[in-house]
Amino acid sequence: METLAYTKKHTTESKAERVYQFRSISIEELAKIHYHSNFPSCRAQWMSNWLSVFKEVKNNVIGYGKKPYIIAAFQKEELVAIVPLLKLNRTYFKYIRIEFLEFLGQQWSSLGNDIIVLKELEVAFTSELIRWIKKNIPFHFLFLKYLPENSIFAKQLSLFHYAGAAFIEVDSYNNYEDFAEKVYTRKFREDLRRTLRRTNKHGFEMTVNTEKITKESLKQIRRISKSKLIDGKSFLYEDAKKEEFHLKMYEEFNSQVVFVKFNGQPVAYGTSIDWNGERIGIDAAFDRDYRKFGAGIQCINASIKTSFEDKMQKMSFGMGLDTYKFQFTDKVQTYYMSFDFTYRLKALLALPYFYYQLQKRDKKVSEMLRNIIKNE
């Protein structure tokens, strides 16, 4: 691991008063540090790609005026943690500009965020970190999303339900057949067989292909994905920046696309990346012209089979609590959000509205999770 020297001029309190010291580092310095992260979206290359793609994008989701603040934490001059943050502005009611400090990349396509821990941290870490942030970075709200339940931030801040990701513990089953027998309901197993019979009856031969993501496969992915518009869903590939980021992601990781084809024509796909023994679903869609043939569920089922064949430890369906995912699994990983604020006028005025929105999201996601558990 590359050694970062702690520079005393970056702090204003004596070492005797605190356990930890902090300073900001650049994204280039971060890239030189070798570390293990719990989420792929905490990798230096992921964050560098995200910033290069979205820095100049200006809207109320991605934000305006983005500036990275990557905080390095030291204990007795040893680097012990990294906190990759991004300062940005959002506008409310046309004229009110609020300054947010958030995880770098949580604004779109995050697969999880947290403090990057290099050495075991003491109880005092979070309070000292937040104290330093408030003293050195001007903002209205510290707003953190996609946190795991065991995040160190939970020692200092309250957690609110934010999102979830369905998953399968692949290595806990003997094989795909064992998994399907134990997890799929009898009705769902029949749905898979019934849609396959209907496919054959209409003269379609269904085949499954796993391919690398290339320019040619991307043409088919874009074509199929566009049919989401029929159901009023968003079409990822009409946004050039989002497509660019996905392509960088596919280049960074071992990635693949599973195609379900009818008579050689792709009618459904699922893209994924592999990371630390986990296969993570990134994007999936089916051609709505083939809805009655169950092209979508056949494709997801095929993706699960390939995860078993490739001996993955875990398969994640990606962020989102879509009900269709829970035909395939009875497990979900929950992600949380948290916040803090400064005693600035705009923050105090916006606090009731901001807190209401957090509670509203927390209630909605909590109810979705309860319904998932109830239906298991």
Q: Are residues 234 and 101 in the same domain?
A: no
**Residue 370 included in any domain:** yes
The answer on pLDDT for 9 being more than 70 is: no
Nearest to 337 by CA among 178, 148, 94, 184: 148
Task: Check residue 7 and give its pLDDT.
Answer: 39
By residue range, what is the domain housing residue 141?
8-163+334-374
Q: Report CA 223 to chain centroid distance, whole Å.
A: 24
Task: Note the pLDDT tens digit of each residue in 229-249.
Answer: 999 999 999 999 999 999 999
Residue 329 pLDDT greater than 80, yes or no: yes
pLDDT attached to residue 17: 74
pLDDT for 361 beyond 50: yes
Give the chain's domain count: 2
What SS3 state is found at 84? strand
Q: Determine the 3-state secondary structure of 212 from DSSP.
A: coil
Q: Within this chain, do residues 99 and 158 fall inside the same structural domain, yes or no?
A: yes
Q: Mean of the pLDDT values across residues 175-181?
A: 98
Whether 35 contacts 41, CB under 8 Å: no
Predicted confidence at residue 317, as pLDDT, reads 98
* Per-residue pLDDT band at 159 (split at 50, 70, 90): very high
Read off the DSSP letter of residue 39: S
Q: What is the CATH number of the domain that holds 217?
A: 3.40.630.30
Q: In this structure, are 140 and 230 located in the same domain? A: no
Position 376 scores a pLDDT of 58
Residues 146 and 267 grouped into a single domain: no
Q: Which amino acid is at 294?
A: G
> What is the pLDDT, as a whole number, of residue 373?
75
Shared domain check, 151 and 187: no
Residues 269 and 301 in one domain: yes
Q: Work out the percent of the chain whose per-residue pLDDT is above 90.
A: 92
Closest C-alpha to 268, from 284, 251, 279, 246: 284
pLDDT band at 1 (very low <50, low <70, confident <90, very high): very low
| Residue pLDDT, tens place only, 94-126 | 889 999 999 999 999 999 999 999 999 999 999
304 and 262 together in one domain: yes
Confidence of residue 374 (pLDDT cuts 50, 70, 90): low
Alpha-carbon dihedral 188, 190, 195, 199, rounded to 10 degrees: 150
Q: Which residue has the tokens 């510290």?
A: 142
Residue at token pair 């200092």: 156
Say if 324 falls within a structural domain: no
Confidence at 13, pLDDT banded by 50, 70, 90:
very low
Residue 1 resides in a domain: no
Alpha helices in the chain (DSSP H): 27-31, 44-54, 125-136, 176-183, 186-201, 215-226, 240-252, 295-309, 345-374
pLDDT number for residue 4? 53
Of 273, 270, 337, the C-alpha closest to 299 is: 270
Q: Are residues 280 and 133 in the same domain?
A: no
Average of per-residue pLDDT across 326-330: 95
Are both 289 and 369 inside the same structural domain?
no
Question: What local confidence, expressed as pLDDT, does residue 6 receive?
Answer: 40
Residue 185 or residue 10, greater confidence: 185
CA end-to-end distance (rounded Å), the chain: 45
The pLDDT of residue 94: 86
The answer on 361 and 224 residing in a single domain is: no
- Distance separating alpha carbons of residues 365 and 234, to the nearest angstrom: 21
Domain of 129, CATH number, reads: 3.40.630
The reply to whether 128 falls in a domain is yes
